[in-house]
Amino acid sequence: MDVEVRRIRESELEEAVKLSRTVLIDVWKRHVGDYCPRKALEEMLRWEHTLENYSRVLRDPYAFCFVAVAGVKIVGIAMGRIWGESGLAFLSWIGVHPDHQRKGVGTKLMREVLEHCKSRGCHKVTLYTMPVLRPAVNFYLKLGFIPEAYLRRHWWGADFIVMSKWLT
């Protein structure tokens, strides 16, 4: 499968939000459902994975959003923010459509994110994930991220792992 990874275009925001919501709901059903209350999912759908939020990302000069496109369809997305000139970047979301997972799409997205952050002077990229998201944890480990902190009962009573990768 030929996949192009590039910056998102404004005309693609609605499609990107739809993809993100599909991925989030799928991950929730397969991995998180018994780990967090349903209200947590509803909150994420109401505040994070919305056209308004994605539009804000496009307007933020420190934010980034990359999409993976197969043909004319967005099959993956990665977004985050570089914290000014601090050298720290935060990956807030990466998701690949369930039909395209385990085909290298996430790796291509993450390579673009890491290269972008490095080109902007970042020395570190950090992210949060849940220990129940074993495929995600293994994916990050494979890419050289290491667990840096364990946040017990962090959000909605769920544990989180802070994982980071140093770029220098």
Judge whether 158 lies within some domain. Answer: no
Which domain, by its residues, includes 84?
Answer: 4-122
Judge whether 53 lies within some domain. Answer: yes
Judge whether 144 lies within some domain. Answer: no
Q: What is the predicted pLDDT for the residue at 116? A: 98
pLDDT digits (tens, 9 = 90+) for 79-112: 999 999 999 999 999 999 999 999 999 999 999 9
Judge whether 134 lies within some domain. Answer: no
Judge whether 161 lies within some domain. Answer: no
3-state secondary structure labels for all residues of the chain: CCCEEEECCHHHHHHHHHHHHHHHHHHHHHHHCCCCCHHHHHHHHHHCCCHHHHHHHHHCCCEEEEEEEECCEEEEEEEEEECCCCCEEEEEEEEECHHHCCCCHHHHHHHHHHHHHHHCCCCEEEEEECCCCHHHHHHHHHCCCEEEEEEEEEECCEEEEEEEEECC
Judge whether 65 lies within some domain. Answer: yes
Q: Whole-model pTM?
A: 0.94
Q: Output the domain CATH number for residue 111.
A: 3.40.630.30
Judge whether 156 lies within some domain. Answer: no
Judge whether 131 lies within some domain. Answer: no
Domain count, the chain: 1
